Amino acid sequence: MRLICVLLLAASLESVAAQAPSPQSASPGEELLRRGIAAQQQGDFKTAIVDFRKALKLEPGLVAARLSLGAVLAAAGDFDGAIEEDTRALAASPHDETLRINLAMAYSRKGDLRHAIEEFESIHAAHPQNLSVAVLLGYTYIKAGREAKAAQLLQPLEAGNERNTQFEYVLAYSLIQSGKAAEGLPRMESVALATHSAEAYLIAGSARFYGGQMISARSDLDEAVKLNPSLPGLQTLAGQARYFMKDMPAATDAFEAALRADSMDFIANRDLGAMRLQQGDLESARPLLELALQLHPTDPLTRIEIAKVNDAMGKYAQAAAILEDLVKAEPNWRDAHWVLANVYSELNRPEDGKRERAIAQQIEARQKQATPQAK
């Protein structure tokens, strides 16, 4: 399962601009280059683009101006323009690695991962020990869904670079996503501790949550909440971990925070609704669960909770219809059989209730038999 959107990764793909020429010896084109770089540094991309283009009009062979133009176009979000300028600059200066890195990053930011990987692989082949290039290549592999390839690339370079948190971050993520969570999680948590990164704690907490390690998951997720409570998806996952551990007040706080950020958050609506229903607060539970059902009409957990709402409201026939469909689709779902047995009792169908209760007991017995006994 893909835990966290790859955009949370720390690698920041920013193009590299040229150095400004010395004003004492600058030609007219170089003076425009210097002015453009100054504008770029102040965030005035529009002026920088104009100055760089003027410089190139005066001196078409001024590679530094074309490099800077490509960099500022990428910074302004014009990736096609950046790629065009970087490609033209490379034709004039084919061995300029800075240009090739800028071109690769422009492809990556555009989403053209095939060309980005080709460029980064070319640079990495020429400079296999260049850690920054390896990290960028690994990051791009991850964006392309090739996490195992990223881990294979980065692991041989780790010795001596264990304190490079950006390197460890990308390596840890690639290991977690390629099925080697036992290797990746300690690295990600070390990065989180060293950098106070809410994103790193969220990635680690998410991996531990989906791996069933709830105590560790909650610890990581709570740390992330302390650092950046508004991180997308964090409050919902923190609420789930707290809910699983039966810390209802803390889970409520997290789910309510998630819903303040996004009232259409499916999981927060569903799980907070289920909690409110368990607490007997039907009035609060019902709208939350009804919205969750609108968002995902086929979700089994939402449907069983809606059946419980119908049961609590005396709508036994509606509850039974939902539950009968659920046990047909999920015949080994013990809880659905138990709830259906209770609904049948309300409908004065004792034989049906007895049958469902017996099925639930059989499932429970099989589950206990399959669970290793604690010594």
Q: What is the mean pLDDT of residues 349-375?
A: 86
Q: Is the pLDDT of residue 11 over 50?
A: no
Tokens 């422009």 label which residue? 106
- This prediction's pTM: 0.84
How far apart (Å, rounded) are the C-alpha atoms in residues 32 and 48?
Answer: 9
- With 0-12 CB in 10 A as exposed, 13-18 as middle and 19+ as buried, what is 345? middle
Q: Is the pLDDT of residue 220 over 80?
A: yes
Q: Is the pLDDT of residue 35 over 70?
A: yes
Residues near 213 by Cβ (< 8 Å), separated by ≥ 6? Answer: none
36-55: pLDDT as tens digits:
899 988 999 999 999 999 99
* Predicted local confidence at residue 4, as pLDDT: 46
For residue 296, give Cα distances in angstroms to 153, 300, 311: 40, 9, 21
pLDDT, greater one: 236 or 89: 236
| CA of residue 109 relative to chain centroid, distance | 17
Torsion-angle region of residue 233: left (phi > 0), alpha (psi -120 to 50) or beta?
left
| pLDDT band of 96, cuts 50, 70, 90 | confident
* Predicted local confidence at residue 2, as pLDDT: 47
Percent of the chain with pLDDT over 90: 79
| pLDDT band of 61, cuts 50, 70, 90 | confident
* Predicted local confidence at residue 94, as pLDDT: 86
155-207: pLDDT as tens digits:
999 999 999 999 999 999 999 999 999 999 999 999 999 999 999 999 999 99
pLDDT, greater one: 371 or 347: 347
Least confident of 55-59, 234-238, 260-264, 310-314: 55-59
Q: Which residue intervals of the chain are DSSP H helices?
A: 28-41, 45-58, 63-75, 79-92, 97-110, 113-126, 131-143, 147-154, 165-177, 181-195, 198-210, 214-227, 234-244, 248-261, 266-278, 282-295, 300-312, 316-329, 334-346, 350-370
